[in-house]
Structure 1
Amino acid sequence: MKEIKVGLEIHQRLRTHKLFCNCPSTLMEMEPDCWIMRMMGVSRSELGSIDPAARFELLRQRKFLYGTYFDGTCEVELDESPPLEMNREAVEIAIKIAKMLNMDVVDEIHTMRKIVVDGSNTTGFQRTALIAIGDEKSMIRTDQGDVRIATLCLEEESAFIAETGPDFVKYRLDRLGIPLVEIATYPDIKSPEQAKEVALKIGRILRATGKVMRGIGTIRQDINVSIEGGARQEIKGVQEPDLIPIVISREVDRQLNLLKIRDEILERGITEEDIGGFFDLTDVLKRAEKGFVRKAIDSGGSAFAIYARKMKGLIGREIQPGRRLGTELASYAKVFAGVKGIIHSDELPNYGISSDLVAEIRKRLEIGEEDGFILVISDRRTAEIALKSVADRLRYAIKGVPEETRRALEDGNTEFMRPMPGSARMYPETDVLPVLSYPFLKALEGWKPEFPEDIIGRLVSYGISRDQAEEIFDEEKVELFERTSCLCKNLSRGFIASTLTSMMKYLRREGVKVELIPEDKLIETLLMVDQGALAKEAVENVIRDLAEDPNADVKEIARRYSMSQEELEKLIDDVISLHKDELMRAGEKAFSMLMGEVMKKVRGKVDGRIVSSKLRERIKKEISQKSL
């Protein structure tokens, strides 16, 4: 593998109200109360330049619809009112995190505007403020060397995409404005596994504050990756730490394969003039056999193509598992023009396009067997935009790897999202006053943060294993574990820990929505086990039912999986009556056999300790009566 450079940007939502208004940082489950439509424009910076990412969005000319909530959003999110002063609690949390990372907090915290015209911010920019800068003490120590922390910023979360189409995007505004800390490292990371280690360690420091949100989507990693001879890529939205090494490894493979394609392009003598043209092939593809191509043409669509001379076999070349250069081209066509995809010569004949039709297409384009072509089926204007973006991307393949902002996919691959933003996207925010850091720092004099190792060590002191302690910490269940352990005097700490971690993970993998269960309901369930009112074996069933109905009464659910004392005593009497001869012959040695028979009928309904105690009493009574 060539030398790689990797830097991380960790984004973590804070557990406080929104950054520039007093709305709650709560994600709504219901549909928005109303929708408002907007369109975005773009202007030049103070230096007279236009950010490339902003220009790209302007070309798309999309409509943006914003969903609002009467009790969760306000005029600030809609950009109908100026922002309020910066959330001081969020500033304090950010400064605490900076101190834990040994960073230098700036004297004055100034808010900046970062141009974002994809519609995810109603203002056309994201507000962000530099809180602290790293120095020689600001680093994360790993097995493969130290990784320096560069900056810590406080910024507002973007709106949530509810739906997208070729010419519109629908956003919900309940997420817009939630405070985020952004921690950026220098590109000191040298391997995929080291990147994961750094992300996990920073994540633990954030969780140790007790002031960050929990759950899927509340923390995410952006990864900056570059390799020797390649180009820097900003990969957005990696949510699972386990995915980080896969994303980096596959991005390295992608760039290496693109460099190999470039070398082959140069060997073939391909120039920019070999890529282009614009041909209407609707009359040819009208003769396609049954399939989506014929269906699209019959529905009023048109077929257009460009040529790519001497590129046979290159467009279909795999660059990531399951993704080819053609897939990259399709991403550009989708993003710029909103088409569903492209068809290229390396995958034909297919889709109802026969070998004869392929030959006719080549004839129309005036290209030979060693040449390639790309097809788009849509209206003419859309096709022009789509094929221009494809042609531009193919021409860049002659140079190598373009700098891009890419989206992380669930399988670890990445896809084109937009061009890399430039330096012209950031400028001062004139509606928010600067914040002095001195009062916050003065108030924190003598403050001693509790670091992850301190918390994990405290959990181990309760008598659980280090693995369990780390899992409780990483699952952000420290407070829940400690509250439950304090209330449950008879229940082992190991059982509490495994219930809150291993059992929850197992049920989550099965599709059980355990995250919906209120913590108080979990504590009540474990308290019933502690008091002998519920068997340990029944806990899983109770949790499953609570996930289905989080408002259900725990005692009512427990009754379905429990047996009363009278029912247990009658069952024991029945078992002893059935095996009385064996009991009389073996005496107390018959306990194991009788216990097994009783447990066959009560397992999961009564704690085994209670069954054992009741059965021993009954056996002694039966034996004593025989003696008389």
Structure 2
Amino acid sequence: EERGSEVVYRLDRLGIPLVEIATGPAISSPEEAGAVALKIGQLLRATGRVKRGLGTIRQDLNISVEGGARVEVKGVQELELIPKVVELEVQRQRALLEIRDELRRRGVSREMIEAKAVDATDVFRDTSSRVAKKALAAGGVALAVKLPGFAGLLGRELQPGRRLGTEMADRARYWAEVGGIFHSDELPGYGIGQDEVNEVRKLLGCGDLDAFALVFEERRKAERAAEAVVERAREALEGVPPETRAANPDGTTRFMRPMPGKARMYPETDIRPIRVTAELLERVRGMLPEPPEAKYEKFVKVYGLSPELAKKALRSYRLDLFERIVEATKAPPQLVASTLEDTLVELRRDGVPVQNITDEHLMELFKLYVGGGIVKEAIPPVLKLLAEKPELGPAEAVRQLGLTPLSPEEAREAVRRILKRMESAIRERGEAAFSLAMGAVMRELRGRVDGAHLSRIVREELVRIAAGG
């Protein structure tokens, strides 16, 4: 976690084996990248020997386009996001190459972009910009740097909501720990007026094709920010700078750090190399789990899952949990799979923090179901409560929600009591009153009686009432 200039980190991963799997540079489309990541995840989960959940498996993507440079996007955790990250990063790199070509057409050279920031503090003495006012009131300065030939290019979109100016701001934040920068393609705006823009352009000696960047900060930070902006502008002349980037939740990427060099790659000094012998390989072959294709056949033919649900289970990071629950509890495989792959997904979409639900919660829930301590209609509300109060166990959640199952006798008595209140409508409509009666019964007994059993009781009681019983 980053807190200003400090980075807080955890040590609880020390001692946990980390496996790194690398592919060759043979993936040629966003969809293929997603498919490869899915396959690797399936193979790992099939072993039952790797940790699961968000953060336990992370994908680093090395992406490049012809004419550019390699960019590493770190830590993509959502499999579904991989194709979008690749697509948007390719879009970004192509846009940077177009900017490079335009700068070259304009005759911009590296030497023209000088690391010479000009003090523009006096221009903003009476500014309406809140950012500028706050910085200057704290003793800061306004520094401006000229970017020859960049007019109209700083505001060019590289990815949705991100521009070349955004990348310069990212660099300024990283190297100088400033809040951000302003650039001429977005001005006037943010309280900075046209007169102030004209004054800065005059101060810097800008021509029609020139742009500028502004930073409001204490002088030392402002100077470092200006240097970072200049360096990123010089890199724009080369096209795509090699760097390490982080993925945003929307699939766009942001600057994370410079690309590390070979100096960071060194042998492990505390562990001796392990020699991979023919005997070791043979022993490993005997320990290999079922491949995903074989599991799919078992899920459909042995467990009775539909082809669609079987595919969902294979793609799920709860793949091993599904099989453990079925084998340990003897719960219906269809119910277990639909709970893990449909119910939990629906709850997450509704904003329920399902990440708080543990494997132990789910195992105990299905043991409770097999033992008659919960009906399947009660599973979604119980899971919702467990997600919100993970300190509870399934049995206690059932009790707190008032969803303790009724015995067959209690269920029939409750149905009779409910139907008694609508007896005249039932006698008038006969069996056509089923939907009306079932709705009334479900409103009171949902989650306490199995739906199919409840439907059977209602039909029987309707026949009894219609017959004058």
Tell me the TM-score normalised to structure 1 length.
0.67
Give the corresponding residue for 1:604: 447
Q: Which residue of 1 aligns with 2:388?
A: 548
The partner residue of 2:197 within 341, 351, 358 is: 358
SS of 2:260's equivalent in the other structure is: coil
In the TM superposition, 1:447-486 aligns within 5 A as: 447-460=287-300, 461-486=302-327
Tell me: CA distance 1:284–1:242, structure 2 relative to 1, closer, same or farther (3 Å). Answer: same
Task: Name the SS of the counterpart of 1:333 in structure 2.
Answer: helix
Q: Which moved more, 1:338-347 or 1:584-593?
A: 584-593
1-structure distance, mates of 2:238, 2:468: 97
Q: 1:580 to 1:230 in 2, by over 3 A?
A: closer
Aligned to 1:386: 225
2:64 to 203, 223, 226: 226
Q: Does 1:311 align with 2:153?
A: no
- Cα pair 2:46 2:319 within 8 Å, conserved: no
Equivalent position amino acid for 1:188 in 2: A
Cα distance in 2 for residues equivalent to 1:553 and 1:404: 47
Q: CA deviation at 1:479?
A: 4.2
How big is the shift at 1:366?
2.4
1:561 aligns with 2:399: no
Rounded Cα–Cα distance in structure 2 between residues aligned with 1:499 and 1:395: 54
Q: Percentage identity across aligned positions?
A: 47
Distance 1:201 1:288, change over 3 A: same
Structure 1 counterpart of 2:417, which letter? D
Letter of the 2:392 partner, please give it.
A
Aligned residues of 2:183 and 2:211 also touching (Cα < 8 A): yes
Structure 1 segments unaligned to the other structure (5+ residues): 1-161
Contact kept? 1:250, 1:320, Cα under 8 Å: yes
1:368 to 191, 194, 207: 207
Residue 200 of structure 1: aligned partner: 38
* Residues 493-541 of structure 1: CA deviation (Å, up to 9, x unaligned): 3222211210001111222222323334334434444455533322211
Give the Cα separation in 1 of the matches to 2:66 and 2:430: 80
What residue in structure 2 maps to residue 94 of structure 1?
A: none
> Contact between 2:375 and 2:447, CA under 8 Å: does it hold in 1?
yes
In the aligned structure 2, how far is the partner of 1:507 from the partner of 1:361?
54
Question: Partner residue of 2:173?
Answer: 334
Do the aligned partners of residues 395 and 602 (structure 1) sit closer, same or farther apart at CA in structure 2, a change above 3 Å counting?
Answer: same
Question: Aligned AA for 1:561?
Answer: L
1:483 to partner: Cα distance: 4.3
Say which of 79, 83, 97 aligns to 1:245: 83
**Pair 1:497 & 2:340 matched:** no
SS in 2 for 1:306: strand
Structure 1: how far apart are the matches of 2:424 and 2:199?
94
* Alpha-carbon distance between aligned partners in 2 of 1:173 and 1:621, rounded to the nearest angstrom: 68
Distance 2:56 2:282 in 1: 30
- Please state how far the C-alpha of 1:216 moved relative to its aligned partner: 0.5
Tell me how far apart the structure 2 counterparts of residues 310 and 556 of structure 1 sit (CA, whole Å): 68
Paired amino acid for 1:225:
I
| CA deviation after TM superposition for structure 1 residue 445, in Å | 6.0
Classify 1:196/1:622 alpha carbon distance in 2 versus 1 (closer, same or farther; 3 Å). closer
Structure 1 residue 177: deviation in Å?
4.5
* C-alpha distance after superposition, 1:444-480 (max 9, x if no partner): 3644442122222222221001221232233233443
Match of 1:181 in 2: 19
- Give the C-alpha shift of residue 443 in structure 1: 4.0
Q: Are 1:572 and 2:412 matched, yes or no?
A: no
Partner deviation per Cα, 1:338-396 (whole Å, 9 max, x = no partner) = 11111111111122222111122122222234321111222222222221221122122
| DSSP-derived class of the 1:480 partner | helix
* Post-superposition CA distance 1:257-293 (Å, at most 9, x none): 1121112112211222322222111222222114211
1:291-310 to structure 2, matched below 5 A, reads: 291-310=130-149
8 Å contact kept, 1:563–1:602: no
The aligned counterpart of 2:123 is 284
- Matched to 1:385, the amino acid is R
The question of whether the paired residues in 1 share the 8 Å contact of 2:427 and 2:466 is answered with yes
Structure 1 pair 177–304 and aligned structure 2 pair: CA distance change class (3 A): farther
Q: Aligned partners of 1:358 and 1:619: how far apart in 2?
A: 81
Q: Which residue matches 1:398?
A: 237
Q: Which amino acid aligns with 1:568?
A: A
Deviation at residue 214 of structure 1 after TM alignment: 0.5
Is 1:539 matched with 2:382?
no
The size of the alignment, in residue pairs, is 463
Relative distance call for 1:383 and 1:201 in structure 2 (3 A) is same
Shift of 1:620: 7.3
Task: State whether residues 168 and 229 of structure 2, in contact with CA within 8 Å, keep that contact through their aligned partners in structure 1.
Answer: yes
Q: In proportion to residue count, which structure has more helix?
A: 2
Q: Which residue of 2 aligns with 1:269?
A: 107
Map of 2:365 onto structure 1: 525
CA distance in 1: counterparts of 2:299 and 2:193, whole angstroms? 67
Equivalent AA in structure 2 for residue 498 of structure 1: S
**Unaligned stretches of 5+ in structure 2?**
none
How has the CA–CA distance of structure 1 residues 513 and 263 changed in structure 2, closer, same or farther, with 3 Å as cutoff? same
Q: Which moved more, 1:312-321 or 1:554-563?
A: 554-563
SS in 2 for 1:227: coil
Using the size of structure 2 for normalisation, the TM-score is 0.88
Does the CA contact (< 8 Å) of 2:47 and 2:288 recur in 1?
A: no
Going from structure 1 to structure 2, the CA distance change for 1:521 and 1:408 (only over 3 Å counts) comes to closer
2:261 to 422, 438, 460: 422
How far apart in 2 are the matches of 1:328 and 1:476? 35
How many Å separate the matches in 2 of 1:585 and 1:394?
Answer: 83
- Partner Cα distance (2:350, 2:59) in 1: 26
Distance 2:438 2:204 in 1: 84
8 Å CA contact 1:275, 1:307 repeated in 2: yes
Indicate how the Cα distance of structure 1 residues 178 and 282 shifts in structure 2: closer, same or farther if over 3 A, else same: farther
1:343 and 1:593 map into 2 onto residues whose CA distance is 65
- Deviations 1:45-100 (Å, cap 9, x if unpaired)? xxxxxxxxxxxxxxxxxxxxxxxxxxxxxxxxxxxxxxxxxxxxxxxxxxxxxxxx
CA distance 1:570–1:328, change in 2 (3 Å): same
Tell me which moved more, 290-299 or 607-616: 607-616
1:66-81 map, 5 Å: none
In structure 2, what is the equivalent of residue 67 of structure 1?
A: none
Corresponding residue of 2:346: 506
Distance in 2 separating the partners of 1:588 and 1:200? 51
The 5-angstrom pairing of residues 35-74 of structure 1 reads none
User: Which structure has greater strand proportion?
Assistant: 1
How far has the Cα of 1:182 moved from its partner?
1.2
Distance change >3 Å, CA 594–CA 400, structure 1 → 2: closer
Residue type matched to 1:165 in 2?
A: G
- Kept in 2: contact 1:532–1:610 (CA 8 A): no
Q: CA deviation at 1:619?
A: 6.4
Q: Quickly say closer, same or farther: Cα 1:531–1:612, change in 2 above 3 A.
A: farther
- Name the CA shift for 1:585/1:171 in 2 (closer, same or farther; >3 Å): closer
